[in-house]
Structure 1
C-alpha cells in the first residue's frame, strides 16, 4: 500500500497504546478505539490491550466504546515520533457512569458533553441521533451558583420555567408545557412537590413529541425533561458546600462517595441538601430538605445492580394565582397597582409536601453484543396541606380574595421496564437495536376545600393580609366525582432500530404500542384505549463525525376518556395526537471546541377536542406549533466558554370551539426565547480565577386563549466571579442585576436583583 507521507514524515509518526478495562479492572476485549479526526483506530485484544500506529503529531479526540459499556472520550496530544502509553482506561456498564477523561491541562468545551444513554435508550452519539436535545451539566450549574431548578433549566435552548400555583414545576418549550416527568429515563413527578437540584448530575431536554420511546405519561407535545442523578464512583470523595444570599438564603449541601469493599465492587454515594429561604415578598418562605442515597454492586463481570432513593420534604408558601374580571380593563400584570413586594396572604397559610422516589436496576451482559436492563421505579407524592392563593382583579387596584386548601393528596406511580440492547449486521448494514416492554400503575387520592370570595381589598391602601385562622372558617369541602380517587394501568411495547446503511448514512425506525386502562371507580365509568406511536429519523454525516444533516418524524399522544353527548350518546374519542416534522444540522468541529445545532420544526395537532355551537363534542380541532432552534456551545480559546441559544416559536389555535379565538396564540407560549452565558477562567499565575456574564430574554406570552391579558417580555442580566482550586471553590453570583420587574407565564411577580455566595470544599 502506497503512502503519501515523505520519508522524514514517516519517521516522525507517533503511536498510542493502552488497556481498556471495566470498573473492577477486568479487561474488555473487542472495544473500539478510534481517533475521530484521523479515522484510524483498533479493537482491543483478549487482554483489553490496543495499539494505534502511524499517527501524525497534533491534538486529537480519542473515543473508546463498547456496546455493553457506552463511550468515553479523551483529548490526546502527540509529539512527533512519540510513543504514548495511556495506561488503563475504564469503561462503565452501558454508559451508566459516563465521564470524559482528559489528557491535557484543562477540559475542552466543558459544557458541551452530550453523551447520554437516555435520549435514544441506547448508546448513540449526538451526530448519529436525528433528535434535537440540550444538556445542562453540573459544571454549568456550579459556575452560576444556582440553587433551584427554575433558574437551572433556563440554560437549555428555548426553555422557560413554569412554577404552578399548586407548587409544582414545569417547563415550556416548542409551545407546550411539560413537567419534569423523567428521572434517569423512568417516570417521576413534580406536580406538587417540585424538585431539588442537589442530586442532579445533568438536565437533559429532549425536543419534540417523544411518545415513541417515553410514552404519554412522561412526554408532552413539546418534548421531555429528564433528570440524571449522581451515581456511585470508584474514587473516595467528599464535597461540602454552603450558600448564602439574598432573602435570607442559607443552603448546606453534601456529596459523599466511597467504595464499601476493598475490591470496589460495592460503591455508595450520598447526596443531601438543606435549604432555608424567605420570599422576596413581605410574607413567604421556602424550606426544603433532600436526602438521596445510592448503591451499586458489581456481582460479576456480567451482572450489576443499582439502587437509589430520594426523599424530599418541603414546607413553603404558594404563589398567587391571579384571575381578571371581564370588565377590569386589565391587559397585563404590569398594570396592577399592588406594591411589587407585597403579599395578599400571610405565610402561616402554607403548604407541606413530601415525595419519595425509589429506583432499582439490574443489568446483565448476555454476550459481547447484547445487554439486558431490568428497571423498577416507585414515585410517591404526598400533600399534607396546600393553601393556594387566588385574587380576582376587578380593576388595577381592587382584588377579590379567596383561597383553597388542597390536601391530603396522595399520588403514586409504579413502573417496571425491561430493555434489550444489541448490535448485529445484516450484510453491510449495521444495526443498533432496542426492544422493550413496560408496565405502569398509577394510584391517586385527593381531598380539597375551597372558599367563596372572602373580601375585596384596595391594594393602594394599607390593607391587611389574611391569616390562616381567618381563612379556615370560609373553607367548604369539595367533591369532584372521579377526580378525588383514580387509578389506571398502562402496558407498553416498543422497539427501535438504528441502521447504519453506510459509514455516513443512518436511519432510525421506532414504534411503540400503548394500552391504557382505567377501571370504573364507582362514580365515573372506566375506559381503555390503545395507541400506536411511530418515529422515523434520517441522518447523513456531511463531514464524517463532524457535521450531520438530519430529519425526523415524531409522534406524541394523550389518551382521552369517552365523552357524553347532549342527546345521551357516548362518543368514543381517539387519543390526541401531535405529529412533528423536523430538519436541521448538527456540528461538532474544531476538536469539538464548537458544537452547534440548527433546526426547524412543524408540530400539528389535527384531532383536538372541541365543543360545537350545539354543545356536541367533536374531535376535529387543530393547533399548529412551528419554529426553529439554534444552539451553540463553544470553547474558542483556552479558558473561554460560551453557551448560547435562541428559539422562535409560533403556536396558534387554527380551529376551536370558540371561533373568536381561531388564529390566536396558544397560552403561555412566547414567540422568542434566548439564553447566553460567557465565562472566562484565567490561564496564567491566577489560574482558577474566572468571570461569567449572561442572561435570558423571554418574549411576550398570553395568559388566556382570548389573547387579551399578556405577560410582558423581559430580559435578565446575570454575572458571576469564581475562584476554583482542587480542594475548594468560591463563587459569587448576581441575578437580575438591572432589577427588572418581570412576571412568570402565570402572571406571578418574580424576584428583583439578588445575590448568592457559595463556598465548597473537597476532601
Structure 2
C-alpha cells in the first residue's frame, strides 16, 4: 500500500506540473549587435515580475512559467538607450522578443567582446582609450590592441612576449624585480594601468587574467594623469578577463627549455539561478631557470573576478590580482664611462660575457603584489551613466637586488641592495558619461573627478664589492649571500618613506558636427601635493636642497593639460582621417639659483594620419606621423654646477608608425607593424646637446606575425605560425665623447598547433637563430627557446 501511495502521488505531481506548464507560457529572445553578432551579458528585466537575467554568450535569454498576459521586456546596456519591448504571453507558448543594437551603440561602458570577426587579431574597439563608447575610426588618437587570440596562439606567457606585437615597443627592459618596461616613441613606458585606472605593480605581472593589452600612444595625461606611469610616449593598459554568463574554462600546461614549467587555469561559472551573479578565476604558477650559468624565477598568480547585475540599472564588478614571486635579478650592466678618454664601442666589442651573471642563486628577491579593483555602473537615465571606480595596488620587495657597475673598461664592481621596499597606491574615480544632443549635434561626454594617493617605504642597505676583471674572471668567482651579509653593516643605509596626493578634474567631449566629421575637446586640471621625504631613523621630514639643488621637502604644483582632435570619415565606417594636439606633464621638484621653485615638465604632441577598416574587417590598419616637443626639462646649472639646476632643457621626438592586421583569405591571419623614431636633445648639457638620448631604443623597428589554420576538412584546426622582430642599432650611452652601441637585431619565431573544441596542443621556438641581442639596459636575451603546450577546454 505504501508503494502504491508513492506511485499515485508521483502521478499526481507529474500531472499537476504538466497542467501548470500548459497553463503558463514563457518569453525568450536574443540580443545582437548591428552586424548580427550576439551580445553577451546584457541586462534583461521583466518589469511586471521584477525578474532580471543576463544574456549568455549566444546573446540569448529566457523567462519561463509566466501566467498568460501582457509583459514588458526591458533591455539595458550601460552606455546605450534602454529598449522596452511589449510581449503577449499565451498559455503553453513561448513568445519571442529579439533586439538588435544600432551602429551608434556598438560599444557599452562595460566590457564588450565582438565575436565572429574573421580578422581575429583585430580587436580595436575599446571603452578605456577615450573613456567613452567610441569606435576606433572615431578616435583621433592612435592606439594598438593586442588580443588574447594573438598572444595565446604565440604561446606568450609573459608581458614582454605579448608586447613584441606593438610597433616600436622593442626588446623589453626587465628590472630587478621582474618589472617590465617598453619603449614608446622614444620614451620609457610601463604597464601600470589596469582597466583604465591605476594598477601599478613594482613586480612581475602574470598575463593569466589578461584579455588584451591596449597601448595608447602619445602624451595621455589629459584623461589618465601621471599616477599610472603614463609617459610622453603613451601608456600600457591591461584589460582583464571578465566573468560571462555560462560555465566553462581551460586548464593549460607548458614545458620548455631551462626547466620551464607552467600550469594555468581559467574557470567561469554563474553563481545564482538568474545568472546575474557571475564568478571567474584565473590562476597560474611558473618555474624557470635562465639560459645563463645562474638564475631562476618561481611565481604564483591568483586573479578572481566577480560581477553582479544588482538591478536592471546597477551593476558591480570586483577584480583582484594577487601575485608573488621569488627569483634572481637579471643582468644589469652599467659600463664604465671615462671622463677624459673618448671612445665608441659596441657592447659586443666590450667583451662582456653573454652567459655569465657573477651573482649566486642564494641572493634572490621576493615580491608580493595585491591589486584590488571595484567598479559600479549605474544607469541614471537613458542618456547618462554614473561610473564609480576604486582601485588599490600594493607591491612589496624583499631580499637582494643586484647590478654590475663598470669601474674600468674591462672591470665591474657588483652592487647589492638588500632590505625591503613597499609601494601602496589608491585611486578613486567618479565619472559621469553622457550621450545626448545639443542643437541637433550628438555629444558623447565624460566628466570625472580623480583622487590618487601614493605611499612608499624604503629600508635598504647598498653594498659595493671590489672590482673584478669581467674578461678574465676566476672560474670560482661568485658573489654569495655570506659575502653580502658580512658587508651589510658597512653599506649605505636608506630608511625613509615618502608619499603624495593628486586631485584632478577632467572632461572630454566628442561632438558629431556632421555624421562624418567629429571633434574632440578635452581638458584636465591636476593639483599635486608632495609630502616630502620622511627619515625613519631621525624622525624628520627633510627640506631644503640636496647637492644637486633638488628639493626633498613638501611642495605643491597645479597643472593643466589639453587634448584636441578632429576626425573625418572619408568613407563612413571604413576610412577616416584624423589629427590631434595633446599635452602631458610630469611634476618635478627643486629650486633654481634665484630661489624660485621649478614647475612641472611639459610635452605637447601634434599627430595626424589615416585609419582604415575595409573589406568586411579583413584589413584594419593605421598610418600616423607624430611630433612631440618636451620643454622645461631640468638640467645642471652650468654656473652653479654642484648646487642648482635650471629648467630650460628641451627634447624632440618625431616619427612614423604603421600597423596592419589582415585576413586576406580563409584561415590566414597576420599582424605587422613598423615604427620610425627620431629623438633628439635640443637643449641640454654640452655633452649631449643635439644627440639622440641613450636608452631611447632603436630608430627603426619592425614586427610581424602570420599564421594559417586549416579552416575545414579532416585537418581542420591544424595551423602554423611564423613571425619576428627586428631593430636597428641603438645607444646605451650617447655623448660627444662616449658612445656605447647596442647592435641591430633580428629575432624570428615559429610555431605549429592543433586547435580543437575540447583541446589544443602546440609547439613553438622563440629566437630560431639564437640571435644575440640586448635590451637598453644591456641585459642579454635568451637564445633559441623551445616550448610545448597542452590545453584542455571545458
Q: Settle same-fold status: TM greater than 0.5.
A: yes
1:592 pairs, out of 613, 617, 623, with: 617
Equivalent in the alignment of 1:512: 524
Superposed, 1:304-703 pairs within 5 Å as: 304-327=315-338, 331-392=345-406, 394-395=408-409, 398-463=410-475, 464-475=477-488, 476-479=490-493, 484-520=496-532, 521=534, 522-524=541-543, 525-563=553-591, 565=593, 569-615=594-640, 616-656=644-684, 658-669=685-696, 670-685=698-713, 686-703=715-732
Q: TM-score if structure 1 supplies the norm length?
A: 0.87
Q: Compute the TM-score of the two structures, normalised by the length of structure 2.
A: 0.84
1:223 is aligned to: 234
Report the Cα distance in structure 1 between the residues aligned to 2:315 and 2:630, rounded to whole angstroms: 43
**Local SS of the residue matching 1:659:** coil
> What's the counterpart of residue 37 of structure 1?
none
1:235 deviates by: 1.1
Question: Which runs of 5 or more residues in structure 1 are unaligned?
Answer: 1-14, 29-44, 50-63, 71-84
Q: Unaligned regions of 5+ residues in structure 2, if any? A: 1-33, 48-70, 83-95, 535-540, 544-552
User: Once the two structures are superposed, what CA deviation does each residue of 1:621-664 show, in whole Å capped at 9, x if it has no partner?
Assistant: 110000010000010111110100000000110111x2131111
Preserved CA contact (<8 Å) 2:245 2:270: yes
Residue aligning to 2:266: 255
Runs of 4+ in 1 over 4 A off after TM superposition: 15-22, 45-49, 85-93, 327-330
Match of 2:733 in 1: 704
Q: Is the 8 A contact 1:540 1:549 kept in 2?
A: yes
- Say if 2:334 and 2:777, in contact at 8 Å, map to a contact too: no
Higher-Rg structure is 2
CA distance in 1, matches of 2:573, 2:467: 65
- The yes-or-no answer on 1:26 pairing with 2:45 is yes
Shift of 1:324: 2.1
Contact 1:18–1:89, Cα closer than 8 Å, also in 2: no
Q: State the partner residue of 1:11.
A: none
In structure 2, do the counterparts of structure 1 residues 69 and 342 end up closer, same or farther at CA, with 3 Å as the change threshold? farther
In structure 1, C-alpha distance between the alignment counterparts of 2:609 and 2:384, rounded to whole Å: 32
Measured after TM superposition, the shift of residue 391 of structure 1 is 3.6
> Partner of 1:171: helix, strand, or coil?
strand
Residues 1:89 and 1:353: Cα distance change in structure 2 (over 3 Å): farther
In the alignment, the residues of structure 2 paired with residue 570 and residue 459 of structure 1 have an alpha-carbon distance, to the nearest angstrom, of 49
Gap change, CA 1:367 and 1:93, over 3 Å in 2 = farther
Q: Is the 8 A contact 1:373 1:420 kept in 2?
A: yes
Q: Is the 8 A contact 1:22 1:92 kept in 2?
A: no
* Cα distance in 1 for residues equivalent to 2:527 and 2:236: 23
**Counterpart contact for 1:68–1:365, Cα < 8 Å:** no
Contact 1:448 1:477 survives alignment (8 Å): no
Describe the SS at the equivalent of 1:739: coil
- Per-residue CA deviations over 1:502-558 (Å, capped at 9, x if unaligned) read 000000000000000012441132100000001000000011110000000011100
Does the CA-based 8 Å contact 1:407-1:447 persist in structure 2? Answer: yes
Paired residues, number? 693
- CA separation of 1:675 and 1:182: change in aligned 2, threshold 3 A: same
Q: CA deviation at 1:563?
A: 2.0
Equivalent residue of 2:464, what SS?
A: coil
Q: Give the match's secondary structure for 1:571.
A: coil
**How far apart in 2 are the matches of 1:330 and 1:386?**
33
Q: Determine if contact 1:577/1:606 at 8 Å carries over to the other structure.
A: yes
C-alpha separation in 1, matches of 2:81 and 2:145? 21
Cα gap change, 1:166/1:101 in structure 2, threshold over 3 Å: closer, same or farther? closer
Preserved CA contact (<8 Å) 1:716 1:740: yes
Note if 1:724 corresponds to 2:755.
yes
* Cα 1:716/1:66, change in 2 over 3 Å: same
Contact kept, 8 Å, 2:501 with 2:528, in 1: the verdict is yes
The offset of 1:345, in angstroms, is 1.0
**1:23 CA displacement:** 3.4
> Contact 1:69 / 1:94 at 8 angstroms: preserved in 2?
no
Shift in Å, 1:87: 5.5
Is the contact between residue 37 and residue 114 of structure 2 (CA under 8 Å) also seen in structure 1? no
Aligned counterparts of 1:335 and 1:309: Cα–Cα separation in 2: 47
Q: Deviations over 1:58-110 (max 9, x none)?
A: xxxxxx9873489xxxxxxxxxxxxxx996679999342311133xxxx4100
Mapped to 1, the partners of 2:444 and 2:712 lie a distance apart of 46
SS in 2 for 1:242: strand
User: 1:209 is matched with which residue: 208, 211, 219?
Assistant: 219
Query: Deviations along 1:26-61, whole A, 9 cap, x unmatched?
Result: 389xxxxxxxxxxxxxxxx97579xxxxxxxxxxxx
**Structure 1 residues 18, 487: CA separation in 2 closer, same or farther (over 3 Å shift)?**
closer
Contact 2:411 2:468 in 1 (8 A): yes
Q: Which residue of 2 aligns with 1:736?
A: 767
CA deviation map 1:589-631 (0-9, x unaligned): 0011100100000000122112232124221111000001000
